[in-house]
Amino acid sequence: MMQQRPRAASFDQASATALYQTYAPMIFGYLRRNTPSREDAEDLTLEVFLAAFERGGLAALPEEEQVAWLRQVARYKLTDYYRRRARRSSASLDDYADEMEADEALAPEHVAVQHEEERRLRAAVQQLSPAQQQVLRMRFSEGWRTAQIAEAVGKQEGAVRMVLSRALNLLRRLYRDEQEGGTLR
Amino acid sequence: MRPDEETFSPETVDEQVEQLSRSLYAIPSRQGRTADAQLVQNLRRMYELEQEDARSVARVQRQLEQQGWLAPERRRASRPERGRRQERRRSEPLPELQAATYRERAAPRQRGWTFRLATIAAVLLVTTLIGGLVVGLVLVHTGKGSLPGQGTATAVPSGPTATGAPSGPTATATPIPLSQQSVYVASENGVITALNASTGRVRWSYQSMGQIRAVPNHYGEGSGLSMALSNGVLYIGSSAGVEAVNTRNGSMLWQDKIGGGQGAPIVRDGVVYVDAPTSLLALRANDGHVLWKQITTSAIYGLAGVSEGVVYVGGDNSPNYAFDANNGKLLWQNMDGGLLWGEAQGAAYYTTEGGGTECCLRAINGRDGTQRWTFDQKHEAVPYGFVGNIVYTSSSDNYFYALNATDGSIVWKSEDVHPVFTLWAKLFASFFYTSTNQGTVVALNPHDGSQQWMSPTFGNASVSPDIENQGTLYVSYQENNEADGAGVAALDVGDGTMKWKARINTIYFPTVEGVINGAVYLGTSIYGQGTVNTISAFSTSNGSPLWQYSQAGLLPGSLID
């Protein structure tokens, strides 16, 4: 059952929804990168937007100020999270020794390398053209072959193959250049 | 075929990608994979994470819809989510999930097993990192000198830039008079490293017998380590016990394998107070002789302070205890839990979150545990400092209050400085500083709460008033766009004007760790697996960079003597 919450001259549902849909990915992404668990990032995202919707007057601000406010509150929430988390209880390492030994993927060196690779790859992908990014996404996110992608975007399969192969070659070069210490332009 | 040696060709790109994908299954470990196979793997992983992020955003949206904040949206059926946890989460009734979320954050003493499980899950991630480094590691104690093969961190000249002042040469080229002082950092695998305060070079390393913990500083500002410095001795609280190390050469003076506690040791009047899992110990600082030991009825979560002959122990969601510092006699215990923020004027100050009937700031008499007073039943309040008989506290109504420590009466209420959430505030000798949601620092007169000045904005970013030293307030800040970095700035305490501002490349919020003899030290302080934390030194005169030390697995926080 939906509950209607009182709000003081702030967002109506439509504007609140628009604000959320536009900026929630950015806020969540920031929180996700800075929290150890997805669930915590979700909770913090919820808190940020609840604070936004409950705050009278925010809706009247220009959009850029609303965004700045959201980012600021996200930082505060994150800081608060770590402050409180640091104060909370810990648990014996022995309790988790089996799990830790069993899961090499959680080894710190592995996680550190993985995070760094993700960051570099994301930066490299962002240098590709929009068309290349779109095809890459369909290939690796949806798992579509080039024929399916061509059908979806209304292009010739050969053209899609060309875009995908060029994207991968470019990505490989960019990716390797940076791995070897080069800079991405 | 060696796919990594060939270009991706238009004719066979599908097949090449699929061949590389298959090779991932054949070679599950990173070792042995080709670079292109790893690229394919990383691309898949990147988009998978994006999808997971989108599902997370949608989950939060559904919760906001349930509460009536957002318009309900028709969605197409989503692909099956992976993992039992996600399935369980998705299938939970949303109102209950929402309620649980806020119970967890708003009422610590009601958390019970829900909170414990959530905490354990969070702690698991952190301890996994520590454990991962420790598993297989032979815990060897070294007497002196560096540890061969321990870590790869090296002090390097940094490349951060300083603005607002002429950039200076690096410290390696321009020595500054920092005498023989050191900056002590610790890594998750229990290695403590002493850095030359002027050059950042490693003086010595010491392998403790257990893992070092990151713990909050007093009143929760920033972060710290489970270590304490006193009279040339570094006292280390590790997962295995307590150790004393000579700061001159890193040699071990004494150790006691009492088991690991949760907090940092506290040294007072030649006595080291340290907590173990279910006990509190007082040891003679000189030789580690146990003066007294007190067993508690339940786990304790760190020392909160020693004041006026009382040792305060406690933590969130657990009983809080008070012991006689002289003999360890239990004076009282408070089974309500709550956060113990500090002690002053013979009282301990606790907070529990939430409004309504939840108490938000309570003063408990140190000797007998009776309640002295309660402040503000409606708002969350966090004490930030104590001077004389005054307790300075923030409140969720966006005002600061000065309270009479004796009876809790309001001495003054500040002007409205509109901090969205008062997470950064510091009380120093002359001013009470806080940050605002506009990315500025505001100085309040501690005598009447009036606003004295407001600093220039820091790009509308978070700022933290951290250290006041010789007429300068050092604040850490983060740019509004995290990719633009963060840094430290020096403000004139008289009028808030900015003397200089120096930047480091980090997406993490930094903390000013300390200021000594012409250098200010800035650390990044983030908890998490494999996080590469750094500590950077800048000249206090103009903000020019001196050195930077970074290391994977470095714990947030440092000690500076």
Phi-psi region of A25 (alpha: psi -120 to 50; beta: other; left: phi over 0): alpha
Residue A147 has pLDDT above 60, yes or no: yes
Residue A156 has pLDDT above 90, yes or no: no
Torsions phi, psi for B514 (to 5 deg): 175, 170
Tally the C-alpha atoms within 13 A of residue B383's C-alpha that lie toward its C-beta. 31
* Chain B residues lying within 8 Å of A42, measured CB to CB: 56, 59-60
Kindly state the average pLDDT of the residues B168-172.
30
Supply the pLDDT for residue B501.
92
Residue A46 has pLDDT above 90, yes or no: yes
Supply the pLDDT for residue B509.
73
**B222-231, B315-324, B499-508, range with the lowest pLDDT:** B315-324
Supply the pLDDT for residue B208.
92
Q: Give, in order, the Cα–Cα distances in Å from B440 to each of A61, A155, B417, B457, B485.
A: 19, 53, 10, 5, 17
Query: What's the residue count for chain A?
Result: 185
Q: Which has the higher per-residue pLDDT, B482 or A172?
A: A172
Q: Angle, nearest 10°, between helix axes A130-140 and B35-66? A: 90
Who among B66, B135, B437 is closest to A101 (CB)?
B135
Q: Which has the higher per-residue pLDDT, B40 or B357?
A: B40
Instruction: For A107-151, give the DSSP string.
Output: -HHHHHHHHHHHHHHHHHHTTS-HHHHHHHHHHHTS---HHHHHH
CB B402 within 8 A of CB B410: yes
Supply the pLDDT for residue B542.
94
Kindly state the average pLDDT of the residues B472-496.
85
ipTM strictly over 0.85? no
Kindly state the average pLDDT of the residues A142-160.
84
Report the residue of chain A nearest B52, measured CA to CA. Answer: A38
Instruction: Tell me, yes or no, if B303 comes closer than 8 A to chain A by beta carbon.
Output: no
Supply the pLDDT for residue A151.
83
Give contacts of B 496-515 with A, CB under 8 A.
507-509
Supply the pLDDT for residue B198.
87
CA-angle at B137, arms to B186 and B536, nearest 5°? 20
| Residue B117 structure tokens | 């499980």
Residue B281 has pLDDT above 70, yes or no: yes
Q: Give, in order, the Cα–Cα distances in Å from B542 to each of A4, B176, B538, B547.
A: 55, 13, 8, 14
Residue B173 has pLDDT above 50, yes or no: no
**A60-64, B41-45, B390-394, B448-452, range with the lowest pLDDT:** A60-64
* Chain B residues lying within 8 Å of A91, measured CB to CB: 119-120, 123-124, 127
Q: In 3D, which of B520, B516, B527 has the Cα closest to residue B548?
A: B520
Report the residue of chain A nearest B482, measured CA to CA. Answer: A30
* Chain B residues lying within 8 Å of A29, measured CB to CB: 53
Who among B47, B59, B239 is closest to A93 (CB)?
B239
Residue B116 has pLDDT above 70, yes or no: no
Instruction: For B160-222, give the DSSP string.
Output: --EESS-----TTTS----TT-EEEEEBTTSEEEEEETTT--EEEEEE-SS-B-EEPPGGG-S
Confidence of residue B271 (pLDDT cuts 50, 70, 90): very high
Give A146 to chain B, closest Cα distance, Å. 7
- Reduce the DSSP state of residue B496 to 3 states and report it: coil
Supply the pLDDT for residue B42.
86
CA pair distance B138, A67, nearest whole angstrom: 50
Residue A145 has pLDDT above 60, yes or no: yes
Supply the pLDDT for residue B287.
93
Residue B55 has pLDDT above 60, yes or no: yes
Strands B227-230, B432-435: parallel, antiparallel or unpaired by DSSP?
Answer: unpaired
Report the residue of chain A nearest B337, measured CA to CA. Answer: A88
Supply the pLDDT for residue B239.
82
**A38-42, B126-130, B148-152, range with the lowest pLDDT:** B148-152
**A88-102, B125-139, B216-230, range with the lowest pLDDT:** B125-139
Percent of chain B with pLDDT over 70: 65
Top residue of A22, A47, A64, A87 to mutate, by most chain B CBs within 10 Å, is A87
CB B11 within 8 A of CB A161: yes
| Residue A149 structure tokens | 């992608």
Give B100 to chain A, closest Cα distance, Å. 11
Supply the pLDDT for residue B15.
86
* Chain A residues lying within 8 Å of B437, measured CB to CB: 69, 72-73, 76
* Chain B residues lying within 8 Å of A99, measured CB to CB: 124, 128
* Chain B residues lying within 8 Å of A86, measured CB to CB: 214-216, 220, 223, 527
Give contacts of A 131-160 with B, CB under 8 A.
136-137, 139-141, 145-146, 158
CB B205 within 8 A of CB B150: yes
* Of A96-105, A147-156, B278-287, highest mean pLDDT: B278-287
Q: Which has the higher per-residue pLDDT, A56 or B20?
A: B20
Instruction: Tell me, yes or no, if A83 comes closer than 8 A to chain B by beta carbon.
Output: yes
Residue B135 has pLDDT above 80, yes or no: no
Kindly state the average pLDDT of the residues B509-520.
84
Kindly state the average pLDDT of the residues B512-534.
75
| Residue B335 structure tokens | 């089974």
Residue A9 has pLDDT above 60, yes or no: no
**A36-50, A169-183, B214-228, B518-532, range with the lowest pLDDT:** B214-228
Supply the pLDDT for residue B459.
67
CB B556 within 8 A of CB B186: no
Confidence of residue B364 (pLDDT cuts 50, 70, 90): confident
Confidence of residue B220 (pLDDT cuts 50, 70, 90): very low
| Residue B99 structure tokens | 């309620």
Kindly state the DSSP code that residue B140 receives in the 8-state scheme: -
Q: In 3D, which of B39, B208, B78 has the Cα closest to residue B133?
A: B208
* Of B58-62, B85-89, B104-108, highest mean pLDDT: B58-62
Instruction: Tell me, yes or no, if A73 comes closer than 8 A to chain B by beta carbon.
Output: yes
Residue B529 has pLDDT above 80, yes or no: no
Supply the pLDDT for residue B319.
66
CB contact under 8 A, B56 and A32: yes
Give contacts of B 373-402 with A, CB under 8 A.
none
Residue B273 has pLDDT above 80, yes or no: yes
Q: Which has the higher per-residue pLDDT, B234 or B154?
A: B234
Long-range contacts of B388-396 (CB under 8 A, 24+ apart): B389/B345, B390/B446, B391/B344, B391/B349, B391/B363, B392/B425, B392/B427, B392/B432, B392/B446, B393/B361, B394/B419, B394/B422, B394/B425, B394/B434, B395/B422, B396/B421, B396/B422
Give contacts of B 131-190 with A, CB under 8 A.
131-135, 188
Report the residue of chain B nearest A39, measured CA to CA. Answer: B56
| Residue B343 structure tokens | 């002690």
Confidence of residue A148 (pLDDT cuts 50, 70, 90): confident
Instruction: Tell me, yes or no, if A109 comes closer than 8 A to chain B by beta carbon.
Output: yes
Supply the pLDDT for residue A179.
55
Give contacts of A 20-39 with B, CB under 8 A.
20-21, 24-25, 28-30, 32-34, 36-39
Q: In 3D, which of A4, A28, A123 has the Cα closest to residue B59?
A: A28
CB A13 within 8 A of CB A20: no
Instruction: Tell me, yes or no, if A69 comes closer than 8 A to chain B by beta carbon.
Output: yes
CB contact under 8 A, A36 and B125: yes
Kindly state the average pLDDT of the residues B295-316.
74
Supply the pLDDT for residue B140.
26
Q: Which has the higher per-residue pLDDT, A36 or B96?
A: A36
Instruction: Tell me, yes or no, if A117 comes closer than 8 A to chain B by beta carbon.
Output: yes
**Tens of pLDDT, residues B412-468:** 988 766 554 555 677 776 777 877 766 788 888 888 888 889 888 876 566 777 788
Give B358 to chain A, closest Cα distance, Å. 18
Residue B317 has pLDDT above 60, yes or no: no
Kindly state the average pLDDT of the residues B172-183.
58
Give B224 to chain A, closest Cα distance, Å. 10
Q: Which has the higher per-residue pLDDT, A54 or A29?
A: A29
Kindly state the DSSP code that residue B34 receives in the 8-state scheme: -
